[in-house]
Amino acid sequence: MIRRKGQLMRILVVMDSFKGSMTSLQAGQAVKDGILKVCPDADVIVRPMADGGEGTCEALSYGMDGNKITIEVEGPFGDRINASYFIVNGADTAIIESASACGITLVSKHRLDPMTASSYGLGEMISDAIERGCRRIIIGLGGVATNDGGIGMLQGLGFSFRTADDREAARGAVALRDLRSIEMSPVWNKIRNVEFIAATDVTNPLYGPEGASFVFAPQKGASMENVALMDKWMEEYSKITERTIPDADPYREGSGAAGGLGFAIMSYLGGKRISGAELIIEETDLDDLISNADMVISGEGRIDRQTVMGKTVGILAKRSEKAGTRLIAIGGSVDIPDGLCRDAGIREVYEIERINEDYMQTDKAMENLSLTVSSLLKYRYTSM
């Protein structure tokens, strides 16, 4: 039995999602099952985690007294879809995932086209939350099919983007090509007393070699020719924005997140960018849970050098080290030097044993993770 000074161990499980196989909560449940197989009386607490993209709403609203709101909005290519968000903190705060309105998972692979995909539906969701009285809007950025610089979202809020012949700009990245002027005054009264927070661990600028178009648009279906065009349009868009909003900065960390949504939120809405993982930790009082735990188990699909550069496991490791709590990291694959792990506060890191084949299937992935945890606890920690 795992005990500490005669008492049962308290274990906090905070897993990120394993892309393509397990959600954060599925991975967390698998770890809990593995713990309870070895020590059925352990006090195990599972909390979901995300980095600002898919799963952010679930992680932030988990355990909160909130309401799920489902409305009809415009999808990435103009079709009407149902999208959901959460209202928490006594109807003051809305938690919205950009992917719920314009996510890449909403579009079949053959239909992907960031040149015409729009974030308009996200603007409709934000408007709905404001109309319901929310004055704090948290927007998880990530997993979108769009590369429109956030123009669609702003149009959905009521901003007007005009072309040279004074027409309303079209939807998608092509709107950036035709943009000549911006009309913002009709929206000021709606947003002036609203706090906007962009939750993302992406730090890329709006344009350039490390910008939204070159880094992320190819996975959204863009050809390299179109990538170069969109990058040029993004640069022109930022210059037009800067003429209207002098402190707009296309190089601000996170501007390139979610196809430029980060830039639009920080520039036009006066929002701020916060690390998605850090935000979840703070909003859900995870620090208190870490301090009161005897062990934290965290993990993600791949643990590598990127892990210690602002990703979930690295952030939790620093928080755990500060609290004096042991952290165990578990990855689907592990490729990180021991010294780098120690410097990041990760004292132990393990790779999931592929006991079952077809390990990308959710049930097999969960079973492999559960068995790995049982093995670790049984042979390494039962003497604690």
Q: Does residue 172 share a domain with residue 28? A: no
Query: Does 281 reside within a domain?
Result: no
Q: Which two tokens stand for residue 376?
A: 């670790």
Evaluate whether 353 touches 371 at the Cβ level (below 8 Å). Answer: yes
DSSP 317: H
Q: Does residue 184 share a domain with residue 317? A: no
CATH of the domain at 263: 3.90.1510.10
Q: Which two tokens stand for residue 332?
A: 């689907």
Q: Under 8 Å CB-to-CB from 51, ≥6 apart: which residues?
A: 16, 142, 200, 201, 275, 276, 277, 311, 312
Strand order in the sheet with 195-199: 67-74, 80-88, 93-97, 136-140, 195-199, 272-274
Please tell me the total count of domains within the chain: 2
Q: Does residue 260 share a domain with residue 292? A: no
- Residue-wise pLDDT for 216-252, tens only, equals 999 999 999 999 999 999 999 999 999 999 999 999 9
Q: Which domain holds residue 141?
A: 56-274
Q: Which of 100, 123, 68, 48 is nearest to 283 (CA)?
A: 48
- The CA distance from 17 to 301, in Å, is 7
The rounded mean pLDDT for the chain is 90
* pLDDT the model gives residue 22: 92
DSSP 310: T
CA 148, 151, 156, 160 torsion-angle sign: negative
- The CA distance from 82 to 22, in Å, is 24
- Residue-wise pLDDT for 115-152, tens only, equals 999 999 999 999 999 999 999 999 999 889 999 999 99
Q: What is the CA radius of gyration of the chain?
A: 22
Query: Does 22 reside within a domain?
Result: yes
Query: Does 260 reside within a domain?
Result: yes
Q: Under 8 Å CB-to-CB from 117, ≥6 apart: which residues?
A: 76, 77, 102, 107, 145, 146, 147, 148, 171, 172, 173, 220
Q: Does residue 183 share a domain with residue 259? A: yes
Question: H or E element: which one contains 11?
Answer: strand 10-15
CA 63, 191, 245, 186 torsion-angle sign: positive
Query: Does 320 reside within a domain?
Result: yes
CA angle, residues 366, 367, 373, in degrees to nearest 5? 90
Q: Which two tokens stand for residue 268?
A: 């036009």
- Residue-wise pLDDT for 165-201, tens only, equals 999 999 999 999 999 999 888 898 899 999 999 999 8
- The CA distance from 149 to 258, in Å, is 8
Query: Does 154 reside within a domain?
Result: yes
Q: Which two tokens stand for residue 15?
A: 């897993």
Question: H or E element: which one contains 185?
Answer: helix 185-191
pLDDT-derived band of residue 7, with 50, 70 and 90 as boundaries? low
pLDDT-derived band of residue 101, with 50, 70 and 90 as boundaries? very high
* pLDDT (mean) for 357-380: 87
Q: Which of 233, 232, 231, 265 is nearest to 248 (CA)?
A: 265
Q: Does residue 111 share a domain with residue 199? A: yes
Q: Does residue 167 share a domain with residue 66? A: yes
Q: Does residue 251 share a domain with residue 156? A: yes
DSSP 380: I
Q: Does residue 357 share a domain with residue 265? A: no
Query: Does 261 reside within a domain?
Result: yes
- Residue-wise pLDDT for 28-55, tens only, equals 999 999 999 998 989 999 999 987 777 8
Query: Does 107 reside within a domain?
Result: yes
Q: Which of 139, 114, 117 is nearest to 216 (CA)?
A: 114
CATH of the domain at 348: 3.40.50.10350
Q: Does residue 346 share a domain with residue 213? A: no
